[in-house]
Amino acid sequence: MLPTKRRRLDAQFSDMEVVSPPPPAYAMNPEWRHAPVYTPSDTTEHQAFASPLASWTDGFSHDPGFLASQEELRCMLFTIAQSAAPTRAGSPADPEQGRDVEEPSRRERAAMRPALSNSRRIEYLKNYVGQVAPWLDMFDSQCTFRVQIPALARTFPALLNAILAISARQMERKTGIQDSFDSIELYQEAIRLLSPLLQNPDPKVVAACVLLCCLEMMSARAQDWRRHLEGCTALFDAFGINGFSSGLLQAVFWCYVRMDLCGALISDGTQSTLLRPSKWLAPDCEEDDAAHLFQAAQSPDMHANYAVYLCAKTCELVSDRTQFIELGVQNDCTGETFNRRWLRLWEDLQLWVENRPPELLPVQTTQTKPFPHILFLHWAAISSNQLYHTACILLLNSMSKAIKLRPAATVSPLWHARRICGISLANPHQGCLNNAIQPLWIAGRLFSHVSEHGIIIDIIRKIEAETGWGACWRIRDLELAWGYQVSRRERMAAQQQSPVAIG
């Protein structure tokens, strides 16, 4: 167990004792008074992880208009979850099944027209298709976010505004624009149009909510990450949407849980995903049968999603063990139970890598130093293999002395760490860049040489420059772990040794 984890947990709970946070907005509204702080993982007693150096932010996340609208959307989603939870309503129907929820009137369809000129709207739509949709469709060969969702948005203004908002925000972040208000105005307009539709959310409404959540995450501080996810978590849990829902909902779900997993990875072993992995499965599936459920899909995309699930299960196990040992939480994570869960999860991960379909195998591996270059052709192969290595590192770092593994390269955390970095070096596909930020942080802490540090920092900097996704705050955390600040000169020397392929 990392010693910093103990300090972070202590600081976390000492803060809870001293500081009383202000009541949330829904507590001030009579209609929301009984709505819970809806965290399906049943971890409401644990505050979000707050890294002392994870203070990256920009003006957007402090804008009063954005903060008010974000709280409004969050509270609306909590309210809907509260009203739906007792009945455990089924997943909303697919767009092809039956009639959609109330279609917008001609007046509503025209409501967004004055917000942007046609040329500006086209610019944001083109940027969405070329720059944003690829990372939303990272594990989806059907390209739902690039093809299907824009088509549905033609007659659904709330969804169209959500698309335009996230695209505008990405362009603002990537180009460093500080005084543009397009993304906030579009974000607020999307929420206004969603408000009357949330009582019976169909897939287009759910997709709009996830797009707005992605927009929030792009600029969120690490300590606010989970707060931005809670509303969508409540919506998915209340309506029983899972990784095996049909059609559009399945693609939207996996896009959301990848963000949820990133939130768990940010917590550094102190928290699981907000939506517990057991709720990712079909309602009639036991967790022991998860492997068969994913295999039955016979799809490279679902095998990649299985890696996301296994990494989430790893975060759940590590956080359960941390809370049991460090905080005395009675979660039945005793030594014997922990060892049994650990070995089962390790076996599942090794079976995942052994049973990869051809699409998820590397097409070339070059043994270069300090990191191998491992090239994949399938989008989902890039991130799913990184998540496999990430999960292995987390497990190996938490392995008890009672567990004995057969000697092999795979039992070395450093071996997995080198492959995480090597995958990012060899695969510049934009759709997979931002998903590599947390694996690179987990891997990066294991290296000790300045040349390795310089390359990792350069990768992270180029990810933020290329995608607009906030990443550089992780550099400060890495430098804290390394004990020194890597200079530009050292970074340039490292890049000459192993050039970064991004961009």
Question: Phi/psi class of residue 485: alpha, beta or left (left: φ > 0; alpha: ψ in -120 to 50)?
Answer: beta
* 467 and 320 housed in the same domain: yes
Would you state the structure tokens that stand for residue 255, as one six-digit string? 């896009």
* 291 and 368 housed in the same domain: yes
With respect to residue 235, please indicate whether it lies within any of the assigned structural domains.
Answer: yes
The pLDDT of 244-251, averaged and rounded, is 94
Q: What is the DSSP letter of 446?
A: T
With respect to residue 344, please indicate whether it lies within any of the assigned structural domains.
Answer: yes
Q: Given pLDDT bands bounded at 50, 70 and 90, which one contains residue 60?
A: confident
With respect to residue 18, please indicate whether it lies within any of the assigned structural domains.
Answer: no
Q: Given pLDDT bands bounded at 50, 70 and 90, which one contains residue 500?
A: low
Residue 421 has pLDDT above 50, yes or no: yes
Instruction: Select from 262, 297, 323 the last residue of a domain.
Output: 262
Residue 30 has pLDDT above 50, yes or no: no
Beta strands in 286-435 (DSSP E): 364-366, 373-375
With respect to residue 456, please indicate whether it lies within any of the assigned structural domains.
Answer: yes
Residue 312 has pLDDT above 90, yes or no: yes
Q: 373: which strand partners?
A: 366
With respect to residue 5, please indicate whether it lies within any of the assigned structural domains.
Answer: no
Q: 365: which strand partners?
A: 374
Q: Given pLDDT bands bounded at 50, 70 and 90, which one contains residue 354?
A: very high
Q: Residue 390, SS3?
A: helix
- At 66-121, the pLDDT tens digits run 878 878 888 888 887 777 654 444 555 554 443 444 444 544 444 444 557 888 99
With respect to residue 372, please indicate whether it lies within any of the assigned structural domains.
Answer: yes
Cβ count near 62 (within 10 Å):
11
Distances (CA, A) of 501 to 41, 309, 428: 38, 29, 6
Residue whose tokens read 């020397």:
493
Q: Given pLDDT bands bounded at 50, 70 and 90, which one contains residue 39?
A: very low
Please report the pLDDT score of residue 322 as a whole number.
92
> Distance between CA atoms of 122 and 131, rounded to whole angstroms?
14
Cα of 413 vs its chain's centroid, Å = 23
Beta strands in 214-263 (DSSP E): none
The pLDDT of 445-453, averaged and rounded, is 95
Q: Residue 382, SS3?
A: helix
Owning domain of residue 402: 285-503
End-to-end CA distance of the chain: 37
> Distance between CA atoms of 290 and 309, rounded to whole angstroms?
9
- At 118-150, the pLDDT tens digits run 889 999 999 999 999 999 999 999 999 999 999
Q: Given pLDDT bands bounded at 50, 70 and 90, which one contains residue 434?
A: confident
> Distance between CA atoms of 376 and 175, rounded to whole angstroms?
29
Would you state the structure tokens that stand for residue 361, as one six-digit string? 């195998």
CB 139 within 8 A of CB 384: yes
Beta strands in 261-418 (DSSP E): 364-366, 373-375
With respect to residue 225, please indicate whether it lies within any of the assigned structural domains.
Answer: yes
Would you state the structure tokens that stand for residue 301, as one six-digit string? 């995309």
* 235 and 383 housed in the same domain: no
* 193 and 83 housed in the same domain: yes
* 291 and 250 housed in the same domain: no
Please report the pLDDT score of residue 86 as a whole number.
44
Residue whose tokens read 């300045």:
450
* 258 and 290 housed in the same domain: no
> How many folded domains does the chain comprise?
2
Please report the pLDDT score of residue 43 as a whole number.
35
* 229 and 307 housed in the same domain: no
Helical axes 437-444 vs 413-426, angle rounded to 10°: 140
Would you state the structure tokens that stand for residue 94, as one six-digit string? 């697919």
* 212 and 243 housed in the same domain: yes
Lowest mean pLDDT among 13-27, 245-259, 470-484: 13-27
* 211 and 300 housed in the same domain: no
* 369 and 249 housed in the same domain: no
> Distance between CA atoms of 295 and 304, rounded to whole angstroms?
11
Q: What is the mean pLDDT of the chain?
A: 82
Distances (CA, A) of 404 to 1, 2, 351: 17, 20, 18
- At 451-475, the pLDDT tens digits run 999 999 999 999 998 888 888 889 9
Please report the pLDDT score of residue 376 as a whole number.
95
Please report the pLDDT score of residue 496 as a whole number.
63
Length of the chain: 503
- Which of residues 415 and 239 earns the better pLDDT score? 415
- Which of residues 247 and 388 earns the better pLDDT score? 388
Please report the pLDDT score of residue 501 as a whole number.
54
Distances (CA, A) of 482 to 369, 441, 448, 452: 20, 11, 7, 11
Cβ partners under 8 Å of residue 189, min gap 6 = 111, 112, 115, 161, 165
C-alpha closest to that of 320 among 285, 360, 278, 289:
278
The pLDDT of 260-288, averaged and rounded, is 93
Please report the pLDDT score of residue 6 as a whole number.
45
C-alpha closest to that of 221 among 473, 475, 480:
473
Please report the pLDDT score of residue 11 as a whole number.
43
Q: Given pLDDT bands bounded at 50, 70 and 90, which one contains residue 175?
A: confident
> Distance between CA atoms of 317 and 330, rounded to whole angstroms?
14
* 78 and 183 housed in the same domain: yes
With respect to residue 305, please indicate whether it lies within any of the assigned structural domains.
Answer: yes
> Distance between CA atoms of 438 and 440, rounded to whole angstroms?
5
Percentage of residues of the chain with pLDDT beyond 90: 56
Please report the pLDDT score of residue 91 as a whole number.
53
> Distance between CA atoms of 466 and 167, rounded to whole angstroms?
14
CB 164 within 8 A of CB 126: no
The pLDDT of 150-160, averaged and rounded, is 95
Task: Give me the half-sphere count of Cα atoms (radius 13 Å) on the Cβ side of residue 124.
Answer: 22
CB 243 within 8 A of CB 198: no
* 398 and 301 housed in the same domain: yes
